[in-house]
Chains A and B, each alone.
Chain A
Amino acid sequence: MSQEQQKTEKRKDLLLVDSARCIGCYSCEVACKLEHNLPAGPRMFKVIQMGPVKNGDNLLMNFMAVTCLHCDRPACVSACPTGAMKKREDGIVFSDPELCIGCQTCAVACPFGVPQLNPATGKIAKCDGCMDRVEQDLWPACVLKCPTGALSFGTSARVVQDVRGQEAMRIARSLKVDR
């Protein structure tokens, strides 16, 4: 990639889900509903409880917070007959309500079942990466409100740096370097 290309390339943020900290409280789901003024029904963010399953004498239970993966080659975008579903330069895949006809072809095309119909508007409801917030340099609503810090957001460099830092601290503490 030439230097010129690097300059014009849009900043790409990523959303990191740390399942170890997810407690299945649905805060992200409700934050998303509030932000996007959604009715009951479509869930653009979904928390799924897994388990408990038996693991020897112990039980294991986990929660998965799942939302749109904003694929590199999104099937929904290729399938959309009106061009409402688009991928932006910064990676966000979103549905333009002005063009969406609610045909749900995207919902069929998506291998993860992400796009859902909003019964209140008759159009597709789907995670838009809180692009209006991100453009104003604000975190997405789900990330900000997560009560346990299971969700984090930022450029890949920053998020990875944070994970590394936390891991280093954990090791340092277990070795009692700081005590």
Chain B
Amino acid sequence: MLTHEPLRRFSGTIKNHDRAVRTVCQECTVGCGLLAYVKDERIVDIQGDEAHPISRGRLCAKGMAFVQGVTHPDRITLPATRSGLKGPFEAVDNWEKGLDLLAERLRKTKDRHGPESLVVGCDPEAGLDFFLGALRFAKLWGTPHVYHPLGEPKDHLPPVDLIDPWAPCTVWSHSQCIFLMEADLATTHPVAFGWVLDAQQRGARVFALDTRFTTTLSKADMAVVIRPESGNLLGLVLMKTLIEEGFCTQESVKNRFLEPDAWLTSFNEMSLDNVEQKIGLAAENIISMVRFLARNQSLTLVTGKRLAFFPDHGIWSTMARAMGWADNTGGGWYPLESGWPRLNTTGDIKSADDEGPSAKKTGLAPYQFTTDWANDSSEMKPKALICTGNCLNDFFSPFQPRVNEMDLITYFGSYPNLTRKLAHMVFPAAVWAERDGLSFTNDRTIQWGDRIVWPSDACRSGLGLWIRLAQRFGWEEYFPWKKENGLADHSAFYNWILERSPETSGCQVDQLQDTSKLVHWPVQDKEAPKKITPMHAPSSIPTTSVSDEADRFPLQFQATRVISRTNDVVHWWPWTRELITENAVQIHPEIAKALGIENGETILVTGAAGMMEGRAWISRMVPEWMVWSSRKMDEKRVVVHKRDQTSEEAFDILKAFLP
């Protein structure tokens, strides 16, 4: 066996420090090991933890720039309140007074509009403890409305045995092929992408598909651009073609699937009418892709989170199983942002609706919220919002036009963002570096991150908020995790949750201190069933309906997040903020030429309901028919135009240009 020893790394700090904290970065879901050096309760240096198996001492821009957010002068440090949404905030002396006020206002809203009028938005910025605490509080309160972007959609993950065995990024270098499906790892999870490049260097081939030419696609051996929202459909088509080309036979699936014949028949009967147009690929491209894939015995299939919000997402786990990719080391399915085990958070609370808050009345996930959904015909009548992060400008943005109808908007956060501007009450939140916390990663590890520094002034953790609020309603027994000094005891809280949840029982926080040996869930080995029921091909594929909108708005609009911008908090990180032209709107050079738009020029993006101003970033990263921005806009179809041009004029020009 030939081996190559990589260069020895010489790591460490030269900064004068009192202590070093070994912890886990919580900016994204990779779970990199950090060594934070602290002097006089200020972070003076961040180094990667060389012994950490996932990150191997490496870090991305987010994992360092967060330091600027911790000490930012604009941080919210005191609770505050005001009566309307216009006036200035009045600082409240302390948390206890603030919480008394909050409890009173919540109680009034409940009396007037019922318990389901309370809606809680859990931005990842507020921490896992805020979300889990919110689930408990909400169940006691009687509302099912608790939303967290990573916890949605509720049914996006198949049972654990369906994705077993999965391939953590640390074994990707054994893979022969890495298939990245709408997963722009290079942008969103750079440290994990380091493993893709390692695998590629060892001879693995990288096949990447996305809706635009992303950084990930630029590093791939085979890069394909497909139409938005057609990813799962492509999965079905690939599966059908794999069967038709003889790469997946009755013989090969009979030991894996229950009723393999019925499964094969469902794909044989699936119609391919219109799919070429819907996906944006010709049949011969699909056949060459299938041949590219079928050559590999071990293949890692990485799927992006966006796919989970569309029908037929189950095709990916079925495909990995059917093709036997998961049978070899380095192969398997790796769904991004799906590293949470099933957590039993509220099982001990009895309520009339015993299905628990997870049984949503609205089957919607935050990123599927639309302005339609937030209108009056919706069954949801929110009157009190508890918001975190900048959720009113993100997954709760459909509530924005309705803020004046709310009795109470409470903001639990760290920075003076738009959500704070729209709030009646403000409570200062600790950032992750200021609280002990558990994190679940894409690799399905359970990691413990120690607090790096104490929170400044009156900032508290999410669990701290719920414990104190629950007290005011006589629910202390449901929130017993308090230290003698009155602060929230995070390790006791997480120990309690871990112990009573099926995939994590047997693991305690103490075991997680040594980050060089990772704990994966399920903690206790379970015998996976040999045969599973696979996802069958749907009997019909919805036909593309060319709407009136498509007539008027010829371009497709897509918004995704960009590098070094985990979320809104980056506004308080000058180092990374300067790297991003925030209002950039990507348009294709041919479109720009047709409309006479220059690079950097101010342009307007107009859709049926809204308009956005931005600066043109002329780039072939987008196909001709797409407009991209890092800013969200509630539109799928748009037209771009110059400021002195109407959207109709631009449409007439583009009509001649686009097929």
Binding site for B on A (CB under 8 A): 21, 23-27, 29-31, 33-35, 39-41, 51-54, 58-63, 132-133, 136-139, 144-149, 152-154, 158-159, 162, 165-166, 168-170, 172-174, 177-178
Least Cβ distance of A78 to chain B in Å? 30
With A25-B190, A34-B45, A133-B14 as given contacts, are A145 and B218 in contact (CB-CB < 8 Å)? Answer: no
In the complex, residue of chain A having the shortest beta-carbon distance to the beta carbon of B622: A52
- A selection of 14 A-B contacts at a CB cut-off of 8 Å is A25-B190, A27-B58, A27-B64, A34-B46, A40-B574, A136-B12, A144-B10, A146-B58, A147-B191, A148-B190, A152-B7, A162-B6, A166-B201, A170-B201
Let me know if B4 is at the binding interface, CB within 8 A: yes
With A29-B579, A144-B48, A166-B4 as given contacts, are A23 and B213 in contact (CB-CB < 8 Å)? Answer: no
Q: Are B1 and A25 in contact (CB under 8 A)?
A: no
Q: Kindly list chain A residues whose C-beta atoms are within 8 Å of the C-beta of B223.
A: 58-59
Contact with A61, one of B9, B47, B218 (Cβ below 8 angstroms): B218
Q: Are A147 and B575 in contact (CB under 8 A)?
A: no
Please report the number of residue pairs spanning A and B whose Cβ atoms sit closer than 8 angstroms: 144
Q: Are A61 and B10 in contact (CB under 8 A)?
A: no
Q: Are B14 and A132 in contact (CB under 8 A)?
A: yes
Expressed in whole angstroms, the Cα–Cα distance for A147 and B56 within the complex equals: 9
Interface residues of A, dominant DSSP = mixed
Across the A-B interface, give the 4 residue pairs with the lowest CB-CB distance, nearest first. Answer: A40-B574, A61-B218, A25-B190, A23-B186
With A27-B60, A27-B61, A40-B575 as given contacts, are A138 and B2 in contact (CB-CB < 8 Å)? Answer: no
With A27-B59, A30-B65, A147-B190 as given contacts, are A139 and B10 in contact (CB-CB < 8 Å)? Answer: yes
Q: Kindly list chain A residues whose C-beta atoms are within 8 Å of the C-beta of B5.
A: 165
In the complex, residue of chain B having the shortest beta-carbon distance to the beta carbon of A143: B9
Expressed in whole angstroms, the Cα–Cα distance for A54 and B64 within the complex equals: 35
Let me know if B151 is at the binding interface, CB within 8 A: no
With A144-B11, A154-B7, A158-B7 as given contacts, are A30 and B61 in contact (CB-CB < 8 Å)? Answer: yes
Q: Are A59 and B218 in contact (CB under 8 A)?
A: yes
Let me know if B119 is at the binding interface, CB within 8 A: no
Contact with A149, one of B194, B217, B218 (Cβ below 8 angstroms): B194
With A144-B47, A170-B201, A170-B203 as given contacts, are A25 and B12 in contact (CB-CB < 8 Å)? Answer: no
Q: Kindly list chain B residues whose C-beta atoms are within 8 Å of the C-beta of A162.
A: 6-7
Q: Are B2 and A178 in contact (CB under 8 A)?
A: yes
Expressed in whole angstroms, the Cα–Cα distance for A41 and B574 within the complex equals: 9
Q: Are B67 and A34 in contact (CB under 8 A)?
A: yes
Q: Kindly list chain B residues whose C-beta atoms are within 8 Å of the C-beta of A137.
A: 10
Scan B50-81; emit 1 where CB is below 8 A from any A CB, else 0: 00000101111100110100000000000000
Expressed in whole angstroms, the Cα–Cα distance for A34 and B194 within the complex equals: 22
Q: Are A136 and B202 in contact (CB under 8 A)?
A: no
Expressed in whole angstroms, the Cα–Cα distance for A33 and B579 within the complex equals: 12
Q: Are A169 and B7 in contact (CB under 8 A)?
A: no
Q: Kindly list chain B residues whose C-beta atoms are within 8 Å of the C-beta of A34.
A: 45-46, 64, 67, 575
In the complex, residue of chain A having the shortest beta-carbon distance to the beta carbon of B15: A35
In the complex, residue of chain B having the shortest beta-carbon distance to the beta carbon of A63: B215
Contact with A145, one of B2, B48, B67, B621 (Cβ below 8 angstroms): B48
In the complex, residue of chain B having the shortest beta-carbon distance to the beta carbon of A172: B2
Q: Kindly list chain A residues whose C-beta atoms are within 8 Å of the C-beta of B510.
A: none
Q: Kindly list chain A residues whose C-beta atoms are within 8 Å of the C-beta of B23.
A: none
Q: Are B619 and A147 in contact (CB under 8 A)?
A: no
With A34-B46, A138-B12 as given contacts, are A148 and B575 in contact (CB-CB < 8 Å)? Answer: no
Let me know if B219 is at the binding interface, CB within 8 A: yes
Question: Which positions 601-620 of chain B face chain A at CB distance < 8 Å?
Answer: 619-620
